[in-house]
Amino acid sequence: MIQQVPHLQSLFSNYLSSHQFDQAPVGLYEPINYILSLGGKRIRPVLLLMGCNLFNDEIENALPASYAVEIFHNFSLLHDDIMDEAPLRRGQPTVHIKYNQSTGILSGDVMLVYAYEYLLQVGSSNIKNIIKIFNKVAIEVCEGQQYDMDFETRSNVSIAEYLKMIEQKTAVLLAGSLKMGALIGGATEEDANHLYEFGRNIGIAFQLQDDILDTFGDPEKFGKRVGGDIVQNKKTFLVIKALEIGNELKRAELNMLMNNTPQDEELKIEKVKSIFNELQVREKSEELMESYLIKAFEYLDKVKVEESRKEPLRNLSNQLMGREV
Amino acid sequence: MIQQVPHLQSLFSNYLSSHQFDQAPVGLYEPINYILSLGGKRIRPVLLLMGCNLFNDEIENALPASYAVEIFHNFSLLHDDIMDEAPLRRGQPTVHIKYNQSTGILSGDVMLVYAYEYLLQVGSSNIKNIIKIFNKVAIEVCEGQQYDMDFETRSNVSIAEYLKMIEQKTAVLLAGSLKMGALIGGATEEDANHLYEFGRNIGIAFQLQDDILDTFGDPEKFGKRVGGDIVQNKKTFLVIKALEIGNELKRAELNMLMNNTPQDEELKIEKVKSIFNELQVREKSEELMESYLIKAFEYLDKVKVEESRKEPLRNLSNQLMGREV
């Protein structure tokens, strides 16, 4: 549960529950209800509602669009899981495992269409603008996934390329959700763009933090296996930075570790972590994360509404970054 | 080449050529240019342009929407080919074979988004209505594909279910293309709906004819292998009708033929065809096809424009049904 905005979360959950996919053919629609029921924090729809609420006390209007972004997000998870051959999602079997791959592809496809169907329900005169923002985000999410896959087989990924990839794959959907919500709530284009930049910078900071926690997190608090990225040889910021600043010996050592399937995974994790520690890439990642957070809040400052209305967004951001509020 | 409307085909081809996907990442966009370059008759975009032209001499406005339906059609072919594990499309390797499966899924996904991006370029005040029609069609195409897959493992598919499936999988996109074109051209809702019904009925007739030609066509004129549906045990109208009207013995014989992988495919084709001949299912299919054609032209009659403007649509339909005009 997101402590800051339980009322928005439950407003959204109620909307989702009353808009299940109960039509025929069951083979197409049951997997959609399944993946939507796996939960998650519903951050994107909540951000969309918060973007609206910043400018407007009436947020019911924004519910269909908030559902659209949650459907889109789950569509992209569903198809990504097929591409990544992932067996589990939030501890449950992925759709292509529980049903089959064709179902996964086709149910995902129709989800994307339904995202537009819900977007169309936005009772706003600038519906065309809203759909344009959604399209731009959706295209960037696909491009980000492509870059992510491309990077798997490339050894020379730069920091700039990595940051662009996580921006597209993760941050723009958060940013777009805030912007669409703001416009539905009646924001000016300028304020909506400030919120977009707030979301984009916060999103990059989240992802950098996720990379750090995956390697250095507390196993009791972190939901996934600590060190998972290292075992899977994922080219996170930590790896790319280490390859950028390490001397020839360190680079060779890290490349060797990442190109071999180890007999002892824990030993591999330890060895990679010790290279990270020597090169202080965790600290460098935290510095960069901080700079994105600062930029994010600068954009939030620029939004022309009473400061008190911004508190929930500030608090939510801090909570999601694991900071006490 | 569609003889009736070469100018519309070349107008569309020029638009397509000047709107290729040349952006990065290449891994995402090159497969889109590839599948769009495989050609085909471009029937859907041409129908959309014809729907517009019926009411308006100015058809340039309809080009982005015509591209949207062609992109959508190719998106659905791309994903269907993955689901059907098809190695070839129009004599060339399918996208998932030429590239890989993940590319096929992801390039298809972004194509669907671009279909909406081009739809948004429609310079029409009823853009919301146009997107609604497109959504309805897109959802039905996915549902039709799901029913088609469901039918593979069912032995009790009814004629009504089969007709519904081909309507969704094939006919509604033709119908929707005509309707969207008509609305862009300034048609009344009533005329646009008549055109939708014209396209829906023509589409079902096309598919019934396709089933007939697959089994009874002239090998020299038919593009694919004659008897292909029989070899693949596809539940076409011919099969379903034969199972409906045959006596117990014939049904058992046909079911046996369809449940076994034959050593001699040509012999299997001959045996199945002889059952079809005995039960006169070809004639029954032709009668049904005729009735859909008649209904289609009745709807075209109702459209309130000069008869001379309807000639190209009549001629095209007859040409596509293989009739001299």
Residue-wise pLDDT tens digits, A248-298: 999 999 999 988 887 889 999 999 999 999 999 999 999 999 999 999 999
pLDDT in tens, A84-142: 999 999 989 999 999 999 999 999 999 999 999 999 999 767 899 999 999 999 999 99
B28 touches chain A (CB under 8 A): yes
Distance of residue A95 Cα from the nearest chain B Cα, in angstroms: 15
Which residues, other chains included, contact B23 with Cβ-Cβ below 8 Å and sequence gap of 6+? B29
pTM above 0.80, yes or no: yes
User: Model confidence at A3, in pLDDT bands (50, 70, 90)?
Assistant: low
B108 touches chain A (CB under 8 A): yes
Q: Is the separation of the CB atoms in A69 and A173 below 8 Å?
A: yes
- Which structure tokens are listed for B182? 């008509």
- Which structure tokens are listed for B279? 């039960």
Span A56-64, average pLDDT = 96
Can you tell me the distance from the alpha carbon of B287 to that of B281, in angstroms, rounded to the nearest whole number?
10
For an interface test with A, the pick among B95, B102, B161 (most A C-beta atoms closer than 10 Å) comes out as B102
Contact A113 B82 (CB under 8 A): no
Span B246-275, average pLDDT = 92
Contact B102 A149 (CB under 8 A): yes
Can you tell me the distance from the alpha carbon of A93 to that of A85, in angstroms, rounded to the nearest whole number?
11
For an interface test with B, the pick among A75, A99, A110, A129 (most B C-beta atoms closer than 10 Å) comes out as A110
Q: Which residue of B has its CA nearest to A148?
A: B25
pLDDT in tens, A34-52: 999 998 889 999 999 999 9
Indicate the residue type of B295. Answer: K
User: Model confidence at B223, in pLDDT bands (50, 70, 90)?
Assistant: low
Among A40-44, A127-131, A225-229, B174-178, the minimum mean pLDDT is found in A225-229
Can you tell me the distance from the alpha carbon of B171 to that of B311, in angstroms, rounded to the nearest whole number?
21
Q: Which residues in chain A (42-81) have CB-CB distances under 8 A to chain B?
A: 79
What number of residues does chain A have?
325
A146 touches chain B (CB under 8 A): yes
- Which structure tokens are listed for B147? 């029913």
**Does CATH place domain B6-320 in 1.10.540.10?**
no
Please tell me the predicted confidence (pLDDT) of residue B162: 97
Distance of residue B283 Cα from the nearest chain A Cα, in angstroms: 31
User: Model confidence at A168, in pLDDT bands (50, 70, 90)?
Assistant: very high
A112 touches chain B (CB under 8 A): yes
Can you tell me the distance from the alpha carbon of A32 to that of A274, in angstroms, rounded to the nearest whole number?
43
B150 touches chain A (CB under 8 A): yes
Please tell me the predicted confidence (pLDDT) of residue B325: 46
Can you tell me the distance from the alpha carbon of A314 to that of A316, in angstroms, rounded to the nearest whole number?
6
Contact B110 A143 (CB under 8 A): yes
Greatest CA separation for chain B = 60
Contact A79 B106 (CB under 8 A): yes
Contact B112 A110 (CB under 8 A): no
Can you tell me the distance from the alpha carbon of A128 to that of B65, in angstroms, rounded to the nearest whole number?
15
Beta strands in chain B (DSSP E): 88-89, 92-93
Please tell me the predicted confidence (pLDDT) of residue B3: 61
Q: Which residue of A has its CA nearest to B29?
A: A143
The overall average pLDDT reported for chain B is 94
Q: Which residue of A has its CA nearest to B138?
A: A113
In sign, the C-alpha dihedral spanning A50, A55, A60, A66 is negative
Q: What is the CA radius of gyration of chain B?
A: 20
Please tell me the predicted confidence (pLDDT) of residue A323: 66
Q: Is the separation of the CB atoms in B281 and B273 below 8 Å?
A: no
What are the distances in angstroms from CA B155 to CA B214, B239, B254?
21, 11, 12
What number of residues does chain B have?
325
